[in-house]
């Protein structure tokens, strides 16, 4: 195996023996082969699309295949093998679609080689052998760290974007031009152009551009289905009773579980990135959705162990379950861990409910603790007048967006220390699971405007961008001229596509940590520094002094 797609990659260079995340070499190799097969599908689907023929089934499969290979989503070799088998059928389907499109257009079909000509081998063993030939390590050797790294940057951006597209699709929002771009970009990665650094940089920025549309679609899907998040005081300490903990990012899974548990005497808690769900009118209306339990994904061993009920993982990030809770944790959607019970597409959560009823539940109410969340774009913009006045009157000096993924590395204390050191006349916007580094601290307010504004999940980065754009419009300047600094933490590939979107928007001076991506080659890093003045985080004091002058 060779994998360097996430921030915790071994030695900061690549996991080669076993994933630090728990991904086995077998699962890693099968993921590489699945991505290869997805490229083959895209070769045909892209060409068919250009001639006017598309297929929803093919489009959705490519998105699901990519999302399945995002860090901490699918660790199960069997499910990955099933996806590879399915990919084989979809390649043939895509080929037929392309040939039909050619026939209609009176064109002779191109004879495609490479991934388009790939056919599934008959055994897992052969799949694993084939995976060696398409490994990242080979491409690094063939093209060098800049070109091979840029190819991976594009792929990881697409993986992250696939996650957002999948969430939007589940809520009924799709766009054929977005699917067309997935095919175009994957097809590009198999072309000769994908060795040209300039062409690769241009494609990476295009991923960022299309990802902005995808995030807008997801925002539309979430707010269209569940209403706009509202500032909401939520409980973060447990209450007496049977319990189910829901982690991940999928709003619909939570809604379906809420419906199925109504009147059953079970309390539902959010965990990790599900916390923002407590601010949506369409979700918080359920009385048995009682609050949030725990913090970010990397603390799940301790938190799930201590949780006296059932646990449902809806998307990333799952870790190897401990034996203490293996029989009461469930996966659904694209998440998978070998031997963990999986709730299929019918979303019948009966086994989860039974496990919750069999577990002891909380025996008493914990002392009440609350925080306020729900400052997505609609809520912040409705207070825009007040915010702008406060800036003009010098009451708010600067905005900090401190957001992104959390993770296990010790260096991530930086984000807690930074948030605490931000001067009292500054406002902090936050989003994604990195917020758990400081979201339970009391930051007070500036003339009634809370100093900490939780915008939502990583999936709500669109909301943060809209807030920045609205502020820039109100002040008649560009986003780069605002008294706003972005200090980001990354871990997995959704952060990669958001970063590409920010670069596409021309956002400069971002600080990125806890370490820079291993897949960014030395010359590409130079471009990022020269064109975007992107910098690694240093110390909170140094960075604050630099930002505030
Ligand atoms: Fe390593 Fe991250 Fe890849 Fe897991 S996802 S194998 S930790 S680089
Ligand atoms: Fe977190 Fe996985 Fe990225 Fe959604 S839950 S931000 S790491």
pLDDT tens for residues 512-523?
Answer: 999 999 999 999
CA–CA distance, 424 with 199 (Å, rounded to integer): 45
Q: Is the distance from the beta carbon of residue 15 to the nearest atom of ligand 1 less than 6 Å?
A: yes
3-state secondary structure of 362: strand
pLDDT > 90 in the chain, percent: 98
Residues in the chain: 549
487 falls in which pLDDT band (50, 70, 90)? very high
- Paired tokens of 224: 């269209």
Q: Is the pLDDT of residue 125 over 90?
A: yes
> Which of 404, 405, 412 maximizes ligand 2 atoms within 8 Å of its Cβ, making it the mutation to test the pocket?
405
CA of residue 437 relative to chain centroid, distance: 18
Point out the ligand 2 atom lying closest to the alpha carbon of residue 297: 5
Q: Is the pLDDT of residue 409 over 90?
A: no
The pLDDT value given to residue 39? 98
Q: Is the distance from the beta carbon of residue 8 to the nearest atom of ligand 1 less than 6 Å?
A: yes
Please choose, from the candidates 236, 325, 302, the residue with its C-alpha nearest in 3D space to the C-alpha of residue 274: 236
Residues 243 and 537: beta-carbon distance below 8 Å:
no
Residues 345 and 197: beta-carbon distance below 8 Å:
no
Q: Write out pLDDT tens, residues 459-476.
A: 999 999 999 999 999 999
Q: Is the distance from the beta carbon of residue 163 to the nearest atom of ligand 2 less than 6 Å?
A: no
202-233: b (≥16 Cβ within 10 Å) or e: ebbbbbbebbbbbbbbbbebbbebbbbbbbbe
Q: Is the distance from the beta carbon of residue 34 to the nearest atom of ligand 2 less than 6 Å?
A: no
Q: Is the distance from the beta carbon of residue 458 to the nearest atom of ligand 2 less than 6 Å?
A: yes
Determine the average pLDDT of the residues in 422-431: 98
The pLDDT value given to residue 392? 94
Residues 396 and 427: beta-carbon distance below 8 Å:
yes
Q: Is the distance from the beta carbon of residue 332 to the nearest atom of ligand 1 less than 6 Å?
A: no
Please tell me the distance between residue 514's alpha carbon and the centre of ligand 1 in angstroms.
Answer: 16
Q: Is the distance from the beta carbon of residue 95 to the nearest atom of ligand 1 less than 6 Å?
A: no
Q: Is the distance from the beta carbon of residue 69 to the nearest atom of ligand 1 less than 6 Å?
A: no
The pLDDT value given to residue 72? 98
The pLDDT value given to residue 55? 98
Please tell me the distance between residue 484's alpha carbon and the centre of ligand 2 in angstroms.
Answer: 23
Point out the ligand 1 atom lying closest to the alpha carbon of residue 10: 1
Please tell me the distance between residue 302's alpha carbon and the centre of ligand 2 in angstroms.
Answer: 18
Point out the ligand 1 atom lying closest to the alpha carbon of residue 18: 6
Q: Write out pLDDT tens, residues 42-100.
A: 999 999 999 999 999 999 999 999 999 999 999 999 999 999 999 999 999 999 999 99
Strands 370-373 and 452-456: unpaired
User: Which domains does the chain carry?
Assistant: 10-224 (1.20.1270.20), 232-358 (3.40.50.2030), 379-548 (3.40.50.2030)
104 falls in which pLDDT band (50, 70, 90)? very high
Q: Which residues contact 302 (CB under 8 A, 6 or more apart)?
A: none
Point out the ligand 2 atom lying closest to the alpha carbon of residue 459: 4
Q: Is the pLDDT of residue 503 over 90?
A: yes
The sign of the dihedral angle between the CA atoms of 159, 161, 165, 166 is: positive
The pLDDT value given to residue 205? 97
Determine the average pLDDT of the residues in 341-348: 98
Please choose, from the candidates 384, 394, 397, the residue with its C-alpha nearest in 3D space to the C-alpha of residue 470: 384
Determine the average pLDDT of the residues in 154-170: 98
β-bridge partners, 371: 234
**What is the rounded average pLDDT for all residues in the chain?**
97
410 falls in which pLDDT band (50, 70, 90)? confident
> Which of 316, 318, 408 maximizes ligand 2 atoms within 8 Å of its Cβ, making it the mutation to test the pocket?
316
């Amino acid at each position: 195996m060779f994998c360097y797609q996430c921030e915790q990659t071994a030695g900061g260079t690549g996991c080669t023996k076993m994933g630090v995340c728990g991904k086995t070499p077998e699962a890693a190799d099968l993921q590489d082969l699945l991505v290869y097969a997805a490229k083959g599908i895209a070769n045909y689907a892209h060409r068919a699309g250009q001639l006017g023929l598309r297929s929803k089934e093919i489009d959705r499969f490519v998105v699901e295949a990519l999302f399945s290979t995002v860090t901490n989503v699918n660790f199960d070799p069997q499910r990955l093998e099933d996806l590879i088998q399915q990919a084989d059928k979809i390649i043939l389907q895509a080929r037929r679609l392309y040939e039909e499109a050619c026939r209609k257009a009176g064109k002779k079909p191109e004879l495609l080689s490479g991934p388009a000509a790939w056919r599934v081998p008959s055994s897992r063993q052969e799949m694993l052998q084939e995976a060696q030939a398409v490994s990242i390590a080979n491409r690094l050797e063939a093209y060098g760290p800049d070109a091979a790294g840029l190819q991976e940057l594009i792929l990881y951006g697409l993986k992250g974007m696939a996650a957002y597209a999948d969430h939007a699709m589940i809520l009924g929002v799709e766009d054929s031009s977005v699917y067309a771009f997935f095919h175009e970009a994957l097809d590009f990665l198999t072309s000769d152009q994908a060795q040209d650094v300039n062409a690769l940089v241009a494609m990476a920025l295009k991923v960022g551009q299309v990802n902005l549309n995808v995030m807008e679609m997801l925002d539309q899907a979430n707010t269209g289905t569940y209403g706009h998040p509202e500032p909401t005081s939520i409980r973060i300490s447990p209450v007496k009773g049977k319990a189910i903990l829901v982690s991940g990012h999928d709003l619909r899974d939570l809604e379906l579980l809420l419906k199925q548990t109504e009147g059953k005497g079970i309390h539902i808690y959010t965990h990790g990135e599900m916390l923002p769900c407590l601010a949506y009118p369409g979700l918080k209306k359920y009385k048995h959705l009682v609050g949030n339990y725990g913090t970010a994904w990397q603390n799940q061993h301790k938190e799930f162990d201590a949780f006296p009920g059932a646990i449902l993982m809806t998307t990333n990030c799952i870790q190897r379950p401990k034996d203490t809770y293996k029989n009461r944790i469930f996966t659904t959607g694209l998440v998978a861990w070998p031997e963990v019970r999986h709730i299929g597409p019918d979303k019948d959560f009966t086994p989860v409910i039974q496990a919750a009823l069999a577990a002891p539940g909380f025996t008493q109410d914990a002392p009440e603790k609350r925080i306020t969340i729900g400052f997505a774009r609609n809520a912040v913009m409705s207070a825009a007048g007040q915010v702008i006045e406060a800036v003009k009157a010098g009451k708010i000096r600067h905005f900090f967006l401190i957001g992104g993924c959390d993770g296990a590395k010790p260096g991530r204390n930086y984000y807690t220390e930074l948030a605490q050191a931000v001067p009292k006349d500054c406002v902090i916007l936050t989003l994604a699971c990195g917020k758990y580094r400081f979201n339970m601290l009391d930051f007070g307010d500036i003339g009634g405007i809370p100093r900490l504004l939780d915008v939502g999940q990583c999936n709500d980065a669109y909301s943060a961008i809209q807030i920045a754009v609205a502020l820039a419009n109100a002040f008649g300047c560009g986003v780069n001229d605002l008294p706003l600094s972005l200090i980001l933490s990354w871990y997995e590939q959704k952060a990669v596509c958001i970063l590409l979107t920010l670069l596409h928007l021309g956002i400069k001076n971002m600080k990125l940590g806890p370490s820079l991506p291993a897949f960014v080659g030395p010359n590409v890093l130079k471009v990022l520094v020269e064109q975007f003045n992107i910098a690694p985080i240093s110390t909170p004091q140094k960075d604050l002094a630099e930002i505030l002058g």
